[in-house]
């Protein structure tokens, strides 16, 4: 039981940085949408969407990090791995977002095939693409920061950004 608890704790601690990063980013996206629709008298602000989105993207990032080919260029300049990982994350995030829209439509229409046939009509594609564009930029920034930490080290980055010593809690 202790081994299971330790594994769960380790996995949760690994998700915290990505979840916090994307939670803040998605709240900014939701705030932007709220400010745009406010001019039409539509109240909108849903922090739960930001939390669920952040958890989903953080989990996608962690799953992708387990795939061996995701760290394809560890010995090349950072931009190689940053662009490679960003592309992988964006493709996975796009798939997850598509499924996020497809599954409710499958319940609505009774099958995945019917849902897929109606998805072009039921999704607000301009909003979908704007969010995907922002998500791509955010994943690029996130990948850049993660690669910097990988190369420079957690302690040095923590010292550079925050001015305090970072204590490693567990081996990775």
Tens digits of residue pLDDT in 54-83: 888 888 788 888 888 888 888 889 999 999
Q: Reduce the DSSP state of residue 39 to 3 states and report it.
A: coil
DSSP assignment of 67-134: SGGGG--TTS-HHHHHHHHHHHHHHHHHHHHHHHHHHHHHHHHSSHHHHHHHHHHHS-HHHHHHHHHH
Q: Reply yes or no on whether the pLDDT at 127 is more than 70.
A: yes
Residues 93/57, Cβ–Cβ less than 8 Å: yes
* Statement: the pTM of the whole predicted model exceeds 0.95: no
Count the Cβ atoms, other than its own, within 10 Å of residue 80. Answer: 14
Model confidence pLDDT, tens digit, residues 84-94: 999 998 898 88
Q: What is the pLDDT of residues 13-60, one digit of tens each?
A: 778 888 888 888 888 888 877 887 777 777 776 777 778 878 888 887
- Percent of the chain exceeding pLDDT 90 equals 9
Q: Is residue 49 exposed (0-12), middle (13-18) or buried (19+ Cβ within 10 Å)?
A: middle
pLDDT of residue 172: 46
Return the higher-pLDDT residue of 38 and 114. 114
């Amino acid at each position: 039981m202790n081994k299971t608890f330790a594994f769960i704790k380790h996995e949760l601690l690994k998700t915290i940085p990505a979840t916090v990063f994307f939670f803040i980013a998605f709240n900014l996206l939701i705030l932007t949408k709220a400010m745009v629709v406010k001019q039409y008298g539509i109240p909108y602000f849903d922090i739960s969407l930001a939390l669920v989105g952040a958890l989903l993207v953080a989990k996608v990032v962690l799953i992708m990090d387990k795939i061996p080919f995701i760290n394809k260029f560890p010995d090349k300049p950072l931009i190689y791995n940053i662009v490679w990982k960003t592309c992988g994350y964006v493709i996975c995030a796009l798939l997850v977002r598509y499924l996020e829209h497809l599954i409710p439509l499958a319940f609505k229409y009774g099958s995945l095939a019917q849902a897929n046939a109606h998805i072009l009509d039921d999704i607000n594609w301009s909003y979908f693409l704007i969010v995907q564009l922002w998500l791509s930029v955010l994943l690029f920034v996130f990948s850049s920061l993660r690669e910097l930490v990988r190369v420079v080290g957690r302690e040095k980055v923590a010292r550079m950004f925050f001015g305090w010593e970072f204590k490693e809690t567990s081996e990775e």
